[in-house]
Amino acid sequence: MEHSNSHPHFDPAHLRSPIEPAHKGRAQRLVEIAERVGAVRAARRLHDRLNSTITILAYHRVIPTDALDSYPLDPELISATPQQFDWQMRHLREHRNPVSLTDVIAHLDKGTPLPRAAIAVTFDDGFSDTYRYAFPILNRYKIPATIFVSTGYVDSQTPFWFEIASYLIYRVRPRALKIDDGRTFPIGESLGERTASLRQIHGILKDLPNCERVILIDKWTHAFSDLITHDAMRHSLPISWHQIHHMASNGIDFGSHTVTHPNLTRLTDHDLGLELSESKRLLEAQLQRPIESVAYPIGTRSAFDQRVTTATERNGFKLGVTYIPGANLIDRLNRFEMHRHGIGRSMSPPYFRALMSLPSWLN
């Protein structure tokens, strides 16, 4: 794999933050109108009569708006601002029935009833801003939550591999990042071309065998070390064990997000077992409690399969969550393929209210 930067003095200052206004799709706009005129409220009775569900929300990052002017990483990982998150958690406390994933496991194992309108809050990856911004809000509204942690990054001060790729896409010269098959990125100079390149390169990296991805990211990091600044990387620091212990002692649960955040379907059986067992072992050793749930990294249909779910169960987990949207019907729960609604920064209060009211119908 080759690396080239024929313009070592490239100044990316003209590339303002990759953050753009969060765009609403046509479907979201229609749902918002329906919510405002009372149609969602009217439909909720029918929805609840037909569907008894457990809804799981998936968050990644909670970051204040005043940090976005110079935000140098992937904007798609920003789930909400603290203000948005505060409103959302208050809405859940006032209008839904927040439960923990431990409650869901108790329902599956022992038949312990779940309340109507049950909802669980989860976070993926384990960013330090989960502790700084989300945790105080969860604590304020007494919302149980589960944070899925990639243990290899805890206390490392090293950004997640997908964030390093994001940073470089927005900073290197066009065609400077090279893949083994000859493709080069970013495809152009403009912000739009770089954002399109980011989506492509993330897809490529997620599909690479884990060892190849690790080597490639390491080479890029060294080749473009002059462009990677500590100030930029502080936006993407992983969580620390101190933060984990503090949250765990204040009602927050933790689950596995593996060790290195690979695509589990691309691993050998041996490496798959290690990613699951070692993350579980380390979390249990640190927290002195059973770790029973796992969030499959990436979480889409291409990121887990029967081999992965079998290995998950074999390694002692009782619940596996995906990133496939939708609610989970309580009378037909698939414990190793739980669906989650991903929350994004474009989600307005009317749409969030509608999603919480009709979780089986809005995907």
pLDDT digits (tens, 9 = 90+) for 244-276: 999 999 999 999 999 999 999 999 999 999 999
Give CA angle at 17 (169, 83), nearest 5°: 125
Task: Count structural domains, the chain.
Answer: 2
For residues 206 and 262, membership in a common domain is answered with: no
The answer to whether residue 72 is domain-embedded is: yes
Q: Is the pLDDT of residue 11 over 50?
A: no
308 three-state secondary structure: helix
For residues 241 and 220, membership in a common domain is answered with: no
Range of the domain at 175: 158-233
Q: At which of 176, 201, 233 does a domain end?
A: 233
The answer to whether residue 182 is domain-embedded is: yes
Output the pLDDT for position 18.
39
CATH (domain of 53): 3.20.20.370
For residues 79 and 139, membership in a common domain is answered with: yes
For residues 269 and 148, membership in a common domain is answered with: yes
For residues 274 and 131, membership in a common domain is answered with: yes
Average pLDDT over residues 168-197: 93
For residues 164 and 153, membership in a common domain is answered with: no
Q: Who's near 220: CB < 8 A, 6+ residues apart?
A: 3, 164, 165, 168, 177
DSSP state of 143: -
Element (H, E) at 194: helix 191-207
For residues 174 and 301, membership in a common domain is answered with: no
Output the pLDDT for position 8.
39
Q: At which of 214, 233, 252 does a domain end?
A: 233
Q: Is the pLDDT of residue 38 over 80?
A: no
The answer to whether residue 10 is domain-embedded is: no
The answer to whether residue 183 is domain-embedded is: yes
Q: Where are the beta strands (DSSP E) in 66-211?
A: 78-80, 97-98, 118-123, 145-149, 177-178, 184-185
Q: Is the pLDDT of residue 309 over 90?
A: yes
pTM: 0.89
For residues 122 and 269, membership in a common domain is answered with: yes
Range of weakest confidence among 178-192, 252-266, 290-304, 306-320: 178-192
CA distances from 283 to 148, 241, 267, 316 (A): 10, 10, 22, 13
For residues 47 and 151, membership in a common domain is answered with: yes
The answer to whether residue 13 is domain-embedded is: no
For residues 177 and 78, membership in a common domain is answered with: no
Q: At which of 233, 261, 283 does a domain end?
A: 233
CA distances from 287 to 121, 247, 315 (A): 20, 11, 18
Output the pLDDT for position 50.
58
The answer to whether residue 363 is domain-embedded is: no
In whole angstroms, give the CA distance from residue 322 to residue 299: 4
Average pLDDT over residues 112-138: 96
For residues 125 and 33, membership in a common domain is answered with: yes
In whole angstroms, give the CA distance from residue 73 to residue 80: 15
For residues 212 and 288, membership in a common domain is answered with: no
The answer to whether residue 82 is domain-embedded is: yes
Question: Rounded mean pLDDT of the chain?
Answer: 88
The answer to whether residue 228 is domain-embedded is: yes
| Residue 185 main-chain phi, psi, to 5 deg | -145, 155
